[in-house]
Amino acid sequence: MKVTTSKSKNAESFYISKSFINDKGVSTSVNVRKLGTLADLLKKHGPTRDDVMEWARAEAKLETQKYKEEKTVNISFNSNKRLQPQQQVFYRGGYLFLQYFYYKLGLDKVCRKIRDKYSFKFDINSILSDLIYSRILEPSSKRSSYKCTLDFLEPPSYQLHDVYRSLNVLAKECDLIQSETYKNSHLLGKRNDKILFYDCTNYYFEIEDEDGIKKYGKSKEHRPNPIVQMGMFMDGDGIPLAFSLFPGNANEQTSIKPLEEKILNEFDCQKFIYCSDAGLGSEKIRKYNHMGERAFVVTQSIKKLNAQDRQWALDTKGFKRLSDDKVVDLSEISKDDEAIYYKDAPYTPKDLSQRLIITYSPKYAKYQKTIREKQVDRAKLMLEKGSIKKERRNPNDPARFISSLAVTDDGEKANVHNLLNTDKIDEETKYDGMYAVSTDLLDDNVSEILSISEKRWQIEECFRIMKTEFDARPVYLQRVDRITAHFLTCFLALIIYRYLEKALEHKYTCEDILKTLKDFNFGYVKEQGFIPLYKRTELTDKLHEICHFNTDFEFITKSQMRTIKKQSKGK
């Protein structure tokens, strides 16, 4: 701190000013306190100007000491002074918490390996990290993502055309990035990779013609657009492991073996239990996961069992209560019972010895009954209005309860009558509350097997987050390499988000976490530092705690912010 003076026609004013280096690297200063005019100060600290200057220097020394001890910042504003052209005063800081996990996963080191293989000049690490952060904070097109990063506390040093050039490289190194990320993830703690969940989904394109891997197929969202399919493995903690893309018209069962072989060979992950739904648990897939040190737990459609097994499964006798193995008859238990019941038996549909476990939940049965009653009411309304349109692709379509009957009069043309199919309703009622699992774990505890299958919802949630929160679709890119790079950044964003969620001990919803990260903004003040523009909450405190830095001060100097940026990178 030092004393400066300013002379006008009628007075001389005294100030305490602070010197600093601005963003352009130029040494300048700003007034932090006005001491008064010479005329006023002579009355209190005179009688001479030298006496006033001596007092002013003592005050500057006190301000310096106070600044060092308390970090108190005094900044004066001028209501008549306009902002400089292109002066930026708003910055986003939520990415700092994502950056902490990005560097913990060693993705910067992976980018270094990639850089050494090519001769490009752009910063692949900055581009990849920014694509991931913007995918979480403000998902949009690559152009919009680039604009979003311009407001980061660490704005990009690359240009938009570098982003598009990098997509080709990221696509080529997609497998390397996945395997290296998995290996580095062990630095964040032991992976729960003894159970691997697999599922597929698809993403639509805003186009009408097929091209490359963009093919017409069975869209999860029933859209008449070309799609690309994604298969993904997830560990037992809900953290993604690996993914692959395949054409929209391909059978999703064919996607499993290539990706699983990559996990076995490149990830060195040999011993695990494969878990999926019935659609991805064919006999061929079960045999493949029965080899080596692998096993499987897959859901089984009771309706698709042979007649003898289906009759056994639906028989109310022979069930046991899961909590204590007490034998019960389901016809004698209360509808309000909240226990889980099961029975199991050897199961060999072809030549692979398995174990079939049937469970029954009165609570789940009540839920299914409620849903079906609403669908029946809608079917009745369709009959009343005569507006019957079957959506054959949707198994929950209420029109499935409507059947047609052709009636002919003497020599007359047949008339078609629609009526409620009560037999169909009664048939579906038989399966209320029922759930089946098939496994080659012949000696394991039933509770442990069921607990594995119950966690399949987490991979469905992963896809929901990618589609809904990260706006992974619709996809507007056309080239295969850019499409691959797009989904790679979505995949990495999901891994980072899942680790953040895990560090927060799953105490907060996805909506709360993302909103808090998006609101972590700062105001830039007079080239002196930053003022937080967010509300301090329990969640912001927890984020600071797990990432080992703090931004919730009343004022953050430029020097402090530089330290925070380094801390977010583990430096």
**DSSP string for residues in 188-221:** GS---TTEEEEEEEEEEBS-SS-BTTBB----TT
Backbone dihedral region for residue 127 (phi beyond 0: left; psi -120 to 50: alpha; all else: beta): alpha
Count CA atoms closer than 13 A to 439's CA, side-chain side.
26
Q: Residue 168 has what pLDDT?
A: 94
Instruction: Please count the helices (runs of H) and the strands (runs of E) in the chain.
Output: 19, 19
pLDDT over 90 percentage in the chain? 69
Encoding tokens for residue 264?
């076995």
Under 8 Å between Cβ of 206 and 236: no
C-alpha of 91 from chain center: 23
C-alpha of 308 from chain center: 44
CB atoms near residue 65 (< 10 Å) = 11
Under 8 Å between Cβ of 166 and 122: yes
Count CA atoms closer than 13 A to 179's CA, side-chain side.
16
DSSP state letters, 141-162 = -HHHHHHHHTTBSS--SS-HHH
387 has pLDDT over 80: no
pLDDT band at 402 (very low <50, low <70, confident <90, very high): confident
Calpha distance 463→467 (Å, rounded):
6
pTM flag (> 0.75): yes
393 has pLDDT over 60: no
Calpha distance 414→412 (Å, rounded):
6
240 has pLDDT over 60: yes
pLDDT band at 211 (very low <50, low <70, confident <90, very high): confident
> What angle (nearest 5°) sits at the alpha carbon of residue 391, between those of residues 388 and 397?
80
The domain ranges of the chain are 2-70, 364-429
Query: Which among 278, 269, 270, 276 has a CA at the least distance from the CA of 296?
Result: 276
For tokens 């079960």, what's the residue?
A: 286
Using CB atoms within 10 Å of the CB of residue 41, give its burial: 0 to 12 exposed, 13 to 18 middle, 19+ buried: buried
Cis status, amide bond into 474, omega within 30 of 0: yes
Using CB atoms within 10 Å of the CB of residue 491, give its burial: 0 to 12 exposed, 13 to 18 middle, 19+ buried: buried
Calpha distance 201→462 (Å, rounded):
11
Q: What is the mean pLDDT of the chain?
A: 90
Residue 266 makes CB contacts below 8 A (sequence gap 6+) with 175, 179
CB atoms near residue 60 (< 10 Å) = 22
Under 8 Å between Cβ of 31 and 76: yes
As a whole number, mean pLDDT of residues 58-75 equals: 78
Calpha distance 474→471 (Å, rounded):
7
Query: Which among 267, 258, 265 has a CA at the least distance from the CA of 198?
Result: 258
Calpha distance 482→171 (Å, rounded):
7
User: What would the pLDDT profile of 309-367 be if each residue is shown by its tens digit?
Assistant: 999 999 999 999 999 999 999 999 998 899 999 999 999 998 999 999 999 999 999 99
User: What would the pLDDT profile of 83-116 be if each residue is shown by its tens digit?
Assistant: 888 888 999 999 999 999 999 999 999 999 999 9
In sequence order, the β-bridge partners of residue 346 are 355
**Through-space distance between the first and last CA atoms of the chain, rounded to whole angstroms:** 30
Sign of CA dihedral 147, 149, 152, 157: negative
C-alpha of 310 from chain center: 39
Q: Residue 375 has what pLDDT?
A: 93
As a whole number, mean pLDDT of residues 140-147 equals: 90
As a whole number, mean pLDDT of residues 159-182 equals: 95
Calpha distance 90→78 (Å, rounded):
19
User: What would the pLDDT profile of 23-56 be if each residue is shown by its tens digit?
Assistant: 666 788 888 889 999 999 998 898 999 999 999 9
125 has pLDDT over 60: yes
